[in-house]
C-alpha cells in the first residue's frame, strides 16, 4: 500500500526534473539557433532498414519542458486528489501514458510517428474520460473518441497522400509548394480542427469534463487539445501558400461561441472548458493570420494558468462534496484563502490583466491583428470575445468567492498541503511566465506604434467585460433573473448554438436507423444469400457429398471400381 502512495510523488519528481532539463535545453537551442535530427535504426533486414526519427529543436524542447512541468504538478496533486480511489495505480499509469503519447507527437518530424502519438492521445483520453464508469462518462467518452476519429482518419489519408512527395518526413516539404500540397494541408487542418475542437467539432470538449479533474487540467492545458494547434504550427509555412480567411472565420466563431456559452453556464468545469475552447479559437485565429510564433507563445502561457485554474477548481469541487454547480458555492474566500488567491490569479491571467502571463500573449496578438488591415468584422469579433472572456471570469469569481453564502449542507472545507504545493509553481509561472517567455522567444523587442485610443481599446474591453460579468451575475432576493426573462435567447446562446444536439441526437439517431435498414436490405437480404454466401453453400454441399461417399458406403467404392474396370475392358 505504501508503494501506491509513493508512486505519484516519485513520478511527479522525475517529471519535474525532466521538465526543467528540457526547458533549459530548449532555451539553449533557441539562443544558439541549434537543432538535432536523431535517426535511430532499430531493425535492418536484407538491406531494408527501419528507422525511428526524432527532431529536437527549440520549439519541441520548450513545449516538452512545459508539458512535463505541468504534468509533474498534476501528478503530485493527484496523490491527494485520488487518495481514496480504488484504482489509483491504474489512473497513474494512464496519465503517464497520456503524457508519453504527447511527447511522441511533439518530437516527431514524421507523419507515421505522429500518428502513433496522435492515436495514443485519442485512445488514452477515452480511457480517462470513462474512468468513473457511469452512463454519463460512457456517453462523453464515445462522443470524444468518435469525433477525434475524424481527425485520425485525416492523418491516415495524409500519410497515404505524402507518398506523392516520396517521404513521410513532412519537415522536408513544408517550405515547398506543389499542387499536391493543397490536399495535404486541408487534411492537416481537418485533423487539427477535430483535436482542438473548433466548430463544428466543439461539442466533445465540454463533454470530456466527465474525466477526473487532474485529467481535465492536463487535457485542457498542454496535451490533448493543444496537439491540433501544435501540429498546425509545425505546418504553418505551408499555410502561407493559400488564402486562410475561411479558417480564420471558423477560429473566430469558435472563440465567440465559447465565450457566449460560458456566460450562461452553471457547471464550474464546463465554464473552464468553454474558456479553453475560447483560447483555442484565439490561437487558431492568430495562426491563420500568419502569426504562428505568437500562437505558440499563447499556447505556452495559456497552459500555465489553465492548469492552475483546473487544480483550484478541483479542490473547490472536492470541498463541496463533488458538486460542480457554482450556485452551490459562495463565500469560499473565507474558508480556502490560498486556493482562492491562486484561482483569482489564474483568472486574471486568463483575462489578460496587465503584467500577468496572459497579458503578454493576448495583447500582442490583438495589436498585430489591428496592424494587419483586417476588416471590421474580424476587429469586432476579436474584441468582443476578449470582453466575454473577462465577463465569464468575473462571473465565476463572483459566484464562487464572494457572492452568496449558500447553505449547501455537504461542505467540508480543508486545504491539503500536497495540493497547495502543486499550485505554487503554477501560480509563479502564471505571473512571470509571460514576461519570461516573451524575452526568450522574441530575439528583439517589437515596437507597435498605434494611436492612443487603439492602444487602450483592449484595456477598455477588459474593464467593460468585467462590469458586464458583474451586472449579469448580480441578483438580490427581489430581482428577477435576467436569463429567465429572455429564456429563448439565453438557451440558444448558452447551448453552444445547439452543437451538442447536432453532434449527438440529430446526426446519430437518423444515421443509425438508416444503417439498420441498409443492413437488413443489403447485408442480410437477397444479396447476402445469392452472392456472399454462394461460395459457402456450394463448398458445404460438395463437402457433404464427399463425406457421405467417404465415410458411409464402402460398397459404392467397390461398385465404382468395378464400373471403371468394366469400362476400361470394353
Using only C-alpha atoms, the chain has a radius of gyration, in whole angstroms, of: 29
Torsion sign (Cα): 456, 302, 398, 257: positive
- Give CA–CA dist 68/66, Å, rounded: 5
91: left (phi over 0), alpha (psi -120 to 50) or beta: alpha
Other CB atoms within a 10 A radius of the CB of residue 139 amount to: 15
CA dist 427 to 291, 421, 422, 423, Å?
A: 27, 10, 9, 6
SS (H, E, C) 416-472: CHHHHHHHHHHHHHHHHHHHHHHHHHCCCCCCCCCCHHHHCHHHHHHHHHHHHHHHH
- Give CA–CA dist 358/115, Å, rounded: 31
- Give CA–CA dist 319/324, Å, rounded: 10
Closest CA relative to residue 75, chosen from 60, 64, 61, 89: 89
- Give CA–CA dist 362/342, Å, rounded: 20
Residues, the chain: 570
Task: Report whether the peptide linkage leading into residue 506 is cis, meaning its omega lies within 30 degrees of zero.
Answer: no
- Give CA–CA dist 6/522, Å, rounded: 57
CB 393 within 8 A of CB 469: yes
The torsion of the CA quartet 354, 355, 361, 364, rounded to 10 degrees, works out to 60
Grid cell, residue 369, equals: 491583428
50: which strand partners? Answer: 43
The torsion of the CA quartet 433, 434, 440, 445, rounded to 10 degrees, works out to -160
The shares of helix, strand and coil residues in the chain, as percent rounded to the nearest 5, are: 75, 5, 20
CB 247 within 8 A of CB 285: no
- Give CA–CA dist 414/412, Å, rounded: 6
pTM to 2 decimals? 0.85
Task: Spell out the residues 6+ positions from residue 436 whose beta carbon is closer than 8 angstroms to its own.
Answer: none
Burial letters 392-414, b for 16+ CB under 10 A, else e: bbbbbbbbbbebeeeeeeeeeee
**For position 401, what pLDDT does the model report?**
81
What is the DSSP annotation of 100-134?
Answer: HHHHHHHT--BHHHHHHHHHHHHHHHHHHHTTT-S
H or E segment to which residue 332 belongs? none
- Give CA–CA dist 274/205, Å, rounded: 8
Strands 48-56 and 36-45: antiparallel
**For position 2, what pLDDT does the model report?**
43
Name the residue ranges covered by the structural domains of the chain.
Answer: 286-474, 478-524, 537-569
Q: What is the pLDDT along the chain (570 residues), one digit of tens a residue?
A: 444 457 888 888 899 999 999 999 999 999 988 989 888 888 888 878 788 888 999 999 999 999 999 999 999 888 888 877 788 888 889 999 999 999 999 998 888 889 888 989 889 989 988 988 888 888 888 888 888 888 899 999 999 988 888 788 888 888 877 777 888 889 999 999 998 888 888 888 888 888 888 888 888 888 888 889 999 999 888 888 788 889 999 999 999 999 988 888 888 888 999 999 999 999 999 999 988 899 999 999 999 999 999 999 988 888 887 788 887 787 788 888 898 999 999 999 999 888 898 898 888 888 888 888 888 899 899 999 999 999 999 888 888 887 666 656 567 777 778 888 888 988 999 999 888 888 888 888 778 888 888 888 888 888 889 888 888 777 665 666 666 777 777 787 777 777 777 777 655 666 677 777 777 777 677 667 677 777 778 888 888 887 777 776 667 777 777 888 888 887
**For position 187, what pLDDT does the model report?**
92
**For position 256, what pLDDT does the model report?**
92
- Give CA–CA dist 118/196, Å, rounded: 12
**For position 3, what pLDDT does the model report?**
45
What is the DSSP annotation of 149-193?
Answer: HHHHHHHHHHHHHGGGTT-SBGGGTTT---TTHHHHHHHHHHHHH
Amino acid at each position: 500500500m505504501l508503494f501506491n502512495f509513493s508512486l505519484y510523488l516519485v513520478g511527479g519528481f522525475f517529471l519535474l526534473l525532466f521538465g526543467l532539463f528540457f526547458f533549459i535545453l530548449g532555451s539553449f537551442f533557441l539562443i544558439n539557433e541549434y537543432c538535432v535530427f536523431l535517426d535511430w535504426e532499430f531493425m535492418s533486414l536484407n538491406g531494408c532498414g527501419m528507422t525511428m526519427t526524432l527532431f529536437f529543436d527549440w520549439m519541441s524542447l520548450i513545449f516538452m519542458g512545459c508539458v512535463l512541468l505541468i504534468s509533474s504538478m498534476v501528478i503530485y496533486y493527484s496523490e491527494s486528489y485520488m487518495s481514496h480511489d480504488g484504482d489509483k495505480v491504474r489512473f497513474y499509469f494512464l496519465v503517464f501514458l497520456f503524457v508519453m503519447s504527447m511527447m511522441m507527437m511533439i518530437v516527431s518530424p514524421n507523419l507515421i510517428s505522429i500518428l502513433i502519438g496522435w492515436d495514443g492521445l485519442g485512445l488514452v483520453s477515452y480511457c480517462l474520460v470513462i474512468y468513473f464508469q457511469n452512463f454519463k462518462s460512457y456517453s462523453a467518452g464515445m462522443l470524444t473518441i468518435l469525433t477525434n476519429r475524424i481527425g485520425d482518419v485525416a492523418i491516415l489519408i495524409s500519410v497515404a497522400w505524402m507518398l506523392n512527395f516520396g517521404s513521410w518526413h513532412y519537415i522536408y516539404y513544408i517550405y515547398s509548394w506543389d499542387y499536391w500540397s493543397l490536399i495535404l494541408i486541408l487534411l492537416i487542418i481537418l485533423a487539427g480542427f477535430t483535436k482542438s475542437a473548433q466548430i463544428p467539432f466543439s461539442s466533445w470538449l465540454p463533454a470530456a469534463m466527465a474525466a477526473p479533474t487532474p485529467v481535465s487540467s492536463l487535457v485542457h492545458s498542454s496535451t490533448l487539445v493543444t496537439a491540433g494547434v501544435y501540429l498546425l504550427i509545425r505546418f504553418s509555412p505551408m499555410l502561407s501558400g493559400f488564402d486562410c480567411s475561411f479558417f480564420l472565420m471558423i477560429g473566430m466563431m469558435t472563440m465567440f461561441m465559447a465565450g457566449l456559452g460560458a456566460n450562461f453556464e452553471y457547471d464550474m468545469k464546463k465554464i473552464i472548458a468553454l474558456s479553453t475552447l475560447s483560447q483555442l479559437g484565439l490561437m487558431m485565429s492568430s495562426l491563420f493570420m500568419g502569426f504562428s510564433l505568437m500562437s505558440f507563445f499563447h499556447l505556452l502561457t495559456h497552459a500555465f494558468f489553465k492548469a492552475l485554474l483546473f487544480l483550484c477548481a478541483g479542490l473547490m469541487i472536492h470541498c463541496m462534496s463533488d458538486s460542480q454547480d457554482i450556485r452551490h458555492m459562495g463565500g469560499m474566500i473565507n474558508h480556502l484563502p490560498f486556493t482562492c488567491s491562486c484561482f483569482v490569479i489564474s483568472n486574471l491571467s486568463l483575462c489578460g490583466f496587465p503584467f500577468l502571463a496572459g497579458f503578454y500573449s493576448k495583447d500582442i496578438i490583438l495589436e498585430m491583428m489591428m496592424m494587419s488591415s483586417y476588416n471590421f468584422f474580424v476587429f469586432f469579433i476579436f474584441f468582443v470575445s476578449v470582453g466575454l472572456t473577462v465577463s465569464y471570469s468575473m462571473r465565476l469569481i463572483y459566484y464562487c468567492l464572494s457572492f452568496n453564502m449558500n447553505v449547501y449542507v455537504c461542505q467540508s472545507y480543508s486545504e491539503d498541503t500536497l495540493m497547495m504545493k502543486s499550485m505554487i509553481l503554477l501560480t509563479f509561472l502564471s505571473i512571470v511566465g509571460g514576461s519570461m517567455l516573451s524575452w526568450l522567444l522574441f530575439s528583439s523587442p517589437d515596437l507597435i506604434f498605434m494611436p492612443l485610443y487603439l492602444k487602450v481599446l483592449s484595456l477598455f474591453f477588459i474593464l467593460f467585460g468585467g462590469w458586464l460579468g458583474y451586472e449579469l451575475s448580480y441578483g438580490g432576493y427581489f430581482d428577477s433573473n435576467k436569463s429567465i426573462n429572455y429564456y429563448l435567447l439565453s438557451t440558444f446562446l448558452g447551448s453552444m448554438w445547439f452543437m451538442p444536439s447536432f453532434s449527438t441526437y440529430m446526426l446519430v439517431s437518423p444515421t443509425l436507423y438508416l444503417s439498420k435498414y441498409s443492413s437488413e436490405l443489403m447485408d442480410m437480404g437477397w444479396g447476402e444469400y445469392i452472392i456472399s454466401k454462394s461460395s459457402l453453400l456450394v463448398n458445404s454441399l460438395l463437402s457433404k457429398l464427399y463425406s457421405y461417399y467417404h465415410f458411409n458406403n464402402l460398397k459404392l467404392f467397390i461398385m465404382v471400381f468395378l464400373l471403371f474396370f468394366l469400362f476400361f475392358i470394353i
